Every structure is written in structure tokens, then in C-alpha cells.
Amino acid sequence: MANPLLTVEDLNITFPGAHGVNHAVRGVSFTIGHEKVGIVGESGSGKSQTGRAILKLNPAFARMEVGKLEFAGCDLKAASERQMRRIRGNRISMILQDPKFSLNPLMRIGAQIMEAYRLHHRTRIAEARQRTLAMLEAVQIREPERVFNLYPHEVSGGMGQRIMIAMMLIPEPELIIADEPTSALDVTVRRQVLGILDDLVSRRGTALMFISHDLNLVADFCDRVLVMYAGRIVEDLPARELHNARHPYTRGLLESLPRLDRPVELLKVPSRDPAWRDEPSIYRGVTP
Amino acid sequence: MTAAIPEVLPAGRPQSTPQRHLETIDLDITFGTGLATHHAVKEVSFMIKRGGAYGLIGESGCGKSTILRAVAGLNADYRGAILIGDKEVQNKRGKEFFRRVQMVFQDPYASLHPRKIVKSVLMEPMKIHGFDNPEARMARVLDEVGLGQEFRYRYPHELSGGQRQRIAIARALVIEPEILLLDEPTSALDVSVQAEILNLLKTLRRERHLTYLMVSHDLAVVAHLCERIGMMQSGRIIEEMTDDDVRASRASQPYTQEFLAASIG
Amino acid sequence: MALPQSHQDTSFRAWLEAPIPSSTLQARAQQLWIGWWRIRHNPSALFGLGVILLMVLAAVLAPLLATHDIYAQNLANRLSPPSSAHWLGTDELGRDIYSRLIHGSRITLYIAGLTALIAAPVGILVGTTAGYLGGWVDTVLMRIVDIFLAFPSLVLALAFVAALGPGIQNAIIAISLASWPPIARLARAETLSIRKSDYIAAIHLQGASSWRIIVSHIMPMCIPSVVVRITLNMASIILTAAGLGFLGLGAQPPSPEWGAMLSTGRQFMLNSWWIAAIPGCAILLASLAFNLFGDGLRDILDPRHG
């Protein structure tokens, strides 16, 4: 990757607390090109905070320090809140876990998607409506005209998440940050939603940052995987190499899953070593 | 309470299976009335042997949690029969039932009282049922679930998800029930913590000879813990399988086959 | 707040910040410590707390702080503006306003505190019982609450005082009667959201009786929001008390109640502003302090905030 789309260098996020400072992200550096990058880790590993930091959406009391934060030649580190607003949704968009909490319950679905489009593109309503219907069709909603006039509570979780995807993709962003976009969905629906996301992302050449706790899902879906532990990236490797992961933490996570093809009496519980926080990450199977 | 319960069994069924521990016969649950009626559970019958583990699996809204809540006694508004041993339990449960059947909830962040320290969480059920030696029992159960004695004076918000779920399991076990109802006990947890909790549940079942009824959407988790699995779809158990059937993808119903394929893929 | 024994202070602090508490007392103390830590980082709540503490201090030390006898009339020196002899001036009977203000804080705090002590338990009990049991209990209790809520609190208090006769005790009873229904409403709303939670289902499945669930599981969850609400209500309680005093139905002259002082000062407002302005400012400051502190308390205590 000669020219990465997104460059993050030395990102640190801390939260002040009654028992001292909580260091949520510790000096994380990575780049994302036009590819699907999975960030996996357990809760508290800092993966969601890392995703939010790119859009500067961390909670107000969090303190963020970053060496370099650059997106397509644009310095996000120095960007003002005003400039960030123009980037959010338009050039970088975010898909959250549960559509129930991300869609406005009092607005019709069509109106919400149209608003997302018109916020960043000055067009007539009729044209925005056309694009919205086309987008709903693109996320495989069978009767876009009908769904256009529904309220969020009238659709299922799977359809809600497809609507979220439509809403996030319609301004044609260059990077999508998806934070556990399918964890609230059933297994059969999950596949379908991921299929749609994959199709749209590959066709438009959009970069995707896919944050998840599900190793197998990420291995299946992404091109590259970053494994986070205690606010650090401990391993960075191509997704199809995941099963040859080197880091003991990645290996431990893989082995702790109950598997249908390999019944065991007791599952392996991954060990944790605080020293991993200070070691450099393993890059493509090579310890630097 | 159980002593007074009349034995009501439908004709034509074997009157006593000596090993039967928990059974539902034609369990039927509807919510709402009129146009808003939702028939959540339709004539569900299944049987669990003493010491057995039965898993109900299906997608959200298939009625699996509704069955569990009805068995637990959280929803008295059901038709059909629920039997513990050979006795049918009344729709409105008595104290004696709760001593024998306990439940572990899905979300350990919601199932512990936010303003009670671990000690009072564990002491309360023993006080309700009049157990002797509560301090010693508490110490034992904390060891059993793999938490040290130093956790006694902690509040839930000071504990991790896995530790909370261990406390929830300890709370269920402290009054020595025979049957444990598990409502997606690991779905809110990280994979490594899930492994710890599944191991704990497996060990406890062996050591305490517990009977499990588990509900989950994760096929691998159910197959790991249960030897009989009921596949649910829109309120019915459409197919019953053993864990080996599941591993070998031996299913007769197309929906089950689809579900198995999605879970493996 | 700083204690002189610095050595003991550090070990006490270590006890408060120990990662693993070893007794119920220590666990509770640590929760308070965290609450204090949060308040310290909330300037407006800290200001509110400061003013409230000053008021409490003034009330406790009133005989020491007062410079004059509050009932001593000095007609030769009536309506004199603030000076070195009378820091806040004198009123129409030549009494020292500063001393009366200090003593008046006792009455204000007495009314506010006692009202809270009566209204909060009644409100919580009615609200949680109605919310948890539901059905006809809920209907009956809530209709009673509705009847009380249908009247503006000052009008309701007026009616009660008119029936019982003026005086501080009767004013307290009247204000309490007017202030428990909103608390019952609040407690019921809280209970409705709590009763569906898993931890209440869990204790129900352990065989606990409804009474046990209400008293030891639902009430502790309602108390924080009720405390916040009561603190925020303090402002209106103080204003109602002052209003009753102002109308001559609360504390009776010559008692130095702030509302009554304001009321008499009204006649002399054009020429001697301080007689009305000073008790007025005291009422304003006290209700502002309770409001700010209540907002801060909500951030700390409300379960939804952490």
C-alpha cells in the first residue's frame, strides 16, 4: 500500500476515574487502504474507542492524544469540530451495533435516508427520493416503496440493520467504520446482511473498518485482521492466515471457542500476560 | 407446597418414567388479546431426564425464552402442564418450587442488584429458605464458582462480566437446587470468558448432578453443553436432535439444515 | 474539610481506596468516597453544597454568630441602613436584620428538613407499593395521588393552614401534604421500570415475598432519584414556606422567618430596600444552592448515570 487511505499513529485514549486514570488505548498505530480491515478484541480492549477516535466521537471526558491522524490527505488531528462535521457521514460513516438505537423512532425510514443524503448533497427532493429507493433496493429490500413509508419500529432487526447500511452508504463515503454491525442479529440474517455489506463495499471500492469480537466472522469477511488486547494491537495479519496466528493471545482466543467439529470436555481458557501491553505487535507473522 | 399438588397427567402417556426430572406437556402461551394476539409458544412438549441437559435453540422471537420463563415461574399465564419429577406444578409457584429450580439470566449486567454487595446477594436466598450455616455455605459456593472470599464485599459494578455471571451462578446454586434454567448464560460475554463459564457449568453439572434446561441462539455453545437439542421455529419445536446429530449436520427439516449451515459457516 | 492529622489521613485514604474491601462498612465507605470524588469535579454542585453547609453552620451556631438580640426593639434606631453597628441594617422596629437572618436559617432548614422527612418516606412507600403490586392497589393509590396533584401546592397548603390554623408546625404538615404526591409518582415510575428487570425476576425466583422485594430491592433503587427530587424540591419547599410566611399563614411575627421578614419589609421597600431585599436574597440563594446541589446529586446517584 503506497498511499494508505487512513493513517493512525500513536493513538492514546485515557479516561480519568476515581481510582486513577484508565488507559483505554495505548499507542496504537495502523493504516487502512482500500480494503476490509477487521479489528477484533474482547470488551475493554479499546477497539470501539479506536473506531470512534477516527471520527473524534469519544465521550467528552475522554482524553485523546495522537501523533498523526490522516485521512486521504486530510489532517483529522488538526481538524476543527466544524470540519469534522463535514467529514462525518459524508466521507467517513459509522454503522452501529443496534439499529433500534441508531434510527430516529419518530421519522419514516425513507425520510431518514433522504436526510442523510441531502445533508451532504444539494439535490431536489425527487432526485433524493429516487436515490433512496435505489439504495433500499441495493440492500435487498424487496418492496422499497412500502418500506420507504414505514417507521423504524415496524421493521425487523435484520431489515433495520440493512436500512442502517443503506443510510450510511448513500452519501458514498470513502471509509465505513462498522462497530459490531451484526452482533444483534440472528445467524441466518447475519450472513445475508454481511453479504450485502460485502457486495456494496467491494463494488464501490469503499474501505471498511470492521470492529467485532467474533474472530471467525472477521476471518471470513475481512482481508486483514488487527487483534487488540488491553489497548494495544498485539497482532496484525492477513485474515486467511488467522489460523496460523503467532501471538499467544490470538491463539488463545481461537482455541477458547466451542467448535461443532471438535467436541472437547473442557474448553481452553486463554492466558493473559500484562507484559503483552508493552511488547511490539506481531506483523504478518513476524516479530519486529 | 409440592405435597399438596395433585397429580394430573393426560391419559395415554406412560404414568411414570422413573428418570424423568422436568417435562412440559403441550405448553401453550399467548400474549395479548384481540388483534394484537401473539401465539408465542405452540403445544411444546419435551422431557429431560434426571441429570440431563436439554438445549432449546432458535432465532430471536421463536419462543425459546418464553418457554424458559414459563418453566421458571415468571409467567403464570400458560396452558398445558409443567412437571417436576412426577408432579405437576401449579401455575403460581410456591416457595418449595424455587428451592428446587433456579435460573441464570442472560445479561449479568442486569441480573445483579446494582446496590447490593456480593455477600447480601448470596445471603438473601439462604435467609428466605432458612438455611443454617449461611457463612460457611457462602464461602463454599464462592470457591465452587472460582471466586475467592475477597469478593464478598464487592459491588456488581466493580466486577467484570464474567465475575458477575459467576456470582449469578453462585446465587442460583447457594440454595442447592436440582434443576438449573440457563437463559443464554454466555451470550453477553467475551469468548474467553464464555469458555470459563461453560467450563464452570460443565463441572458443576457433573459435581452436583444438576439437570440443565438451556436456551441459546449459538449452536456450538448448546452442543458443547447439552446432549439433546430442540430446534425451535415460530413457537414450535420442529426437530429434536442429539449433539452428535448436530455435529454431523443430520437434520431432516429444511429450516434446521439452513440453521446448521449458517452456524457452521 | 482537611484534617490536621496528615499521617492518619493517608492511611484512612488507603483504606478508602483499597482495591479489595474487607468488610461491609469499608465497601459502603468506598462508595461514598467515589461519590465525593465526583462531586469535587462538579463546580456548581460544590458551590451548592458549600452554601448549604454554610446555612447549616449558621443555623447551628446562630447564638454565637448573632450580634444582637433578635427580638430587642430599638425604635430610636429603626430603618437604619447597613452600617458597622448593624451589618445588614435594622427593620421597622429597629431589630438587627443580620441576627434575624441567621436565626431565620434555623426555621427555614427546620421546615425544609422536616418536610423532606415526612414527604419522602410516604411518597416512596405509596409509589413503590402501587408500582410493584399493580392492579387495583395501583388504581386506588394513584387516584388519591391524582386528587392531591390536582391542586397547586401553595393553594393546597393554604387550605390546610386555613383549616389547622397558622403556625410553623401546621405549615410543615401542609407543605408535606402537598409535596408527597409528586414523589409517589416518581417512585411509581421508577418501580415500573425496575420491576421488569432481571435482578427483580431473580429475587422473585428465589422465593422472596412481594413485601421483601419492595422494601429491600425496589426501595433502595428508588431512593437516589427521590433524594435528588427532594433536594430539587427543597427550593420550592423553601419558597412555599416563605410564601406562607409572607401571607401570614406560616411562622408568626416576631419569629424571624425569611418569608415573614420579606412580607413586613414590603411596606418599606421604597425607602428602605434592605428590609425586603436581604431576606429575599437569602431565599433566592438557598433555593439556588439546593437546585445546584440536586443537579450534582443526580449525576452521582442516578443509576442511569453510572
pLDDT tens per residue across span C199-240:
999 999 999 999 999 999 999 889 888 888 888 888 788 888
Rg (CA), chain A: 20
The DSSP result for A25-67, as a single string, is: EEEEEEEE-SSEEEEE--TTSSHHHHHHHHTT-S-TT-EEE-S
Decide if C208 and B73 are in contact by the 8 Å CB cutoff: no
pLDDT at A195 over 50: yes
Nearest CA in chain C to A61: C41
Mean pLDDT of A44-52: 90
Q: Which residues of A touch B217 (CB under 8 A)?
A: 186-187
Calpha distance A183→A150 (Å, rounded): 24
Confidence band, pLDDT 50/70/90 cuts, at residue B4:
very low
Output the pLDDT for position C212: 93
Distance CA C98, CA C79 (A): 13
Contact B102 C197 (CB under 8 A): no
Q: What is the pLDDT of residue B15?
A: 47
Asked if A269 lies within 8 A of B161 by C-beta distance, the reply is no
Considering only the beta carbons, identify the residue of B99, B117, B168 that sits closest to C207.
Answer: B99
Q: How confident is the model at residue A21 (pLDDT cuts 50, 70, 90)?
A: confident
For residue C300, pLDDT beyond 90: no
CA distance C193 to chain A (A): 18
How many whole angstroms separate alpha carbon C66 and alpha carbon A138?
A: 80
The answer to whether C38 contacts chain A (CB < 8 Å) is: yes
pLDDT band of A117, cuts 50, 70, 90: confident
- Which chain C residue is nearest to residue B174, measuring alpha carbons? C206
Contact B262 A187 (CB under 8 A): yes
What is residue B149's DSSP assignment? G
Residue B9 has pLDDT above 60, yes or no: no
Q: Which of B107, B117, B175 sits opposite C27 (nearest CB)?
A: B117
B104 vs chain A: nearest CA distance in angstroms? 20
Q: What's the pLDDT at A207?
A: 93
Size of interface A-C (CB pairs under 8 A): 6
Is the dihedral angle over the CA atoms A96, A101, A104, A110 positive or is it negative?
Answer: positive
Is B84:B22 a contact under the CB 8 Å cutoff? yes
Interface residues on B facing C, Cβ-Cβ cutoff 8 A: 72-74, 95, 98-99, 102-103, 105-107, 110-117, 119, 124-125, 128-129, 150, 153-155, 157, 168, 171, 175
SS3 B44: strand
* pLDDT value for A69: 93
In the predicted model, what is the mean pLDDT of residues A241-265?
87
CA distance C291 to chain B (A): 25
Distance CA A283, CA A278 (A): 15
Confidence of residue C302 (pLDDT cuts 50, 70, 90): low
Residues of A in contact with B204 (CB under 8 A): none
**Span A138-147, pLDDT tens digits:** 888 888 999 9
How sure is the predictor about C1, in pLDDT bands with cuts at 50, 70 and 90?
very low
pLDDT of C182 above 50: yes
Query: Are C38 and A18 within 8 A, CB to CB?
Result: yes
Work out the angle at residue C156's Cα, subtended by the Cα atoms of residues C153 and C160, and round it to the nearest 5 degrees. Answer: 135
Nearest CA in chain A to B62: A186
* All three cell numbers of B154: 464487592
* Binary contact (B262, A43; C-beta < 8 A): no
Neighbours of chain A (3+ CB pairs under 8 A): B, C
Select from A183, A187, A211 the residue whose CB has the most chain B CBs within 10 Å, as the one to mutate to test that interface. A187
| Residue C15 contacts A, CB cutoff 8 Å | no
- Touching C (3+ Cβ pairs <8 A), the chains are A, B
Instruction: Please write the tens of the pLDDT for every residue from A207-233.
Output: 999 999 888 888 888 999 999 998 999
- Chain C nearest-CA distance from A147, in A, is 32
Whole-number pLDDT of residue C3: 40
Range C287-303 average pLDDT: 81
A74 contact B CB<8A: no
ipTM reported for the complex, 2 dp: 0.86
Query: DSSP character for A281?
Result: P
For chain A, what is the mean pLDDT? 87
Residue of chain B whose Cα is closest to the Cα of C197: B110
Would you say A100 and A152 are in contact if contact means Cβ atoms under 8 Å apart?
Answer: yes
Average pLDDT over residues B211-218: 94
Contact A252 B192 (CB under 8 A): yes
Between the two ends of chain A, the Cα-to-Cα distance in Å is 19
A contacts of B262 (beta carbons < 8 Å): 187-188, 190-191
Answer yes or no: do A43 and B60 touch at CB < 8 A: no
**Between residues B236 and C69, which one has the greater pLDDT?**
B236
CA–CA separation, B88 vs B110, rounded Å?
Answer: 31
Which residue among C23, C198, C206 places its CB closest to the CB of B107?
A: C198
- Which DSSP symbol is given to C96? B
CB contact under 8 A, A187 and B263: yes
- Mutation choice for C interface testing from B112, B153, B154, B213 by most C CBs within 10 A: B153
Q: Give the gap in angstroms from C-alpha A41 to the nearest C-alpha of chain B.
A: 9
Cβ-Cβ contacts under 8 Å between B and C: the total is: 73
The domain locations on chain C are 40-70+87-301
Confidence of residue B80 (pLDDT cuts 50, 70, 90): very high
pLDDT given for residue B180 in this prediction? 96
Among residues of chain A, what percentage have pLDDT more than 90?
32
Instruction: Tell me A72's DSSP state.
Output: T
Residues of chain C contacting A18 with CB distance shorter than 8 Å: 33-34, 37-38
| CB contacts, 8 Å: A19 with chain C | 17, 19
What pLDDT, on a 0 to 100 scale, did the predictor assign at position C187?
95
Residue A57: all three cell numbers together: 466521537
* Mean pLDDT, rounded, for C153-171: 84
User: Which of 3.40.640.10, 3.90.550.10, 3.40.50.300, 1.20.1090.10 is the CATH number of B20-264?
Assistant: 3.40.50.300
What pLDDT was estimated at residue A18? Answer: 64
Q: Chain centroid to CA C154: how far?
A: 17
Over range B178-190, report the average pLDDT: 91
Task: Choose among B72, B110, B155: nearest Cβ to C205.
Answer: B72
8 Å CB contact between B82 and B89: yes
pLDDT at B201: 95
Level-2 CATH architecture, domain C40-70+87-301: Orthogonal Bundle (1.10)
Q: Is C208 on the interface with B (CB under 8 A)?
A: yes
- Per-residue pLDDT, A287: 65
- Which cell goes with A212? 467485532
Does the beta-carbon distance from C38 to A19 stay under 8 Å? Answer: no
Domain boundaries, chain B: 20-264
Percent of the residues in chain C that have a pLDDT greater than 90, as a whole number: 33
| Tens-digit pLDDT profile for residues C10-30 | 678 888 877 778 888 888 888
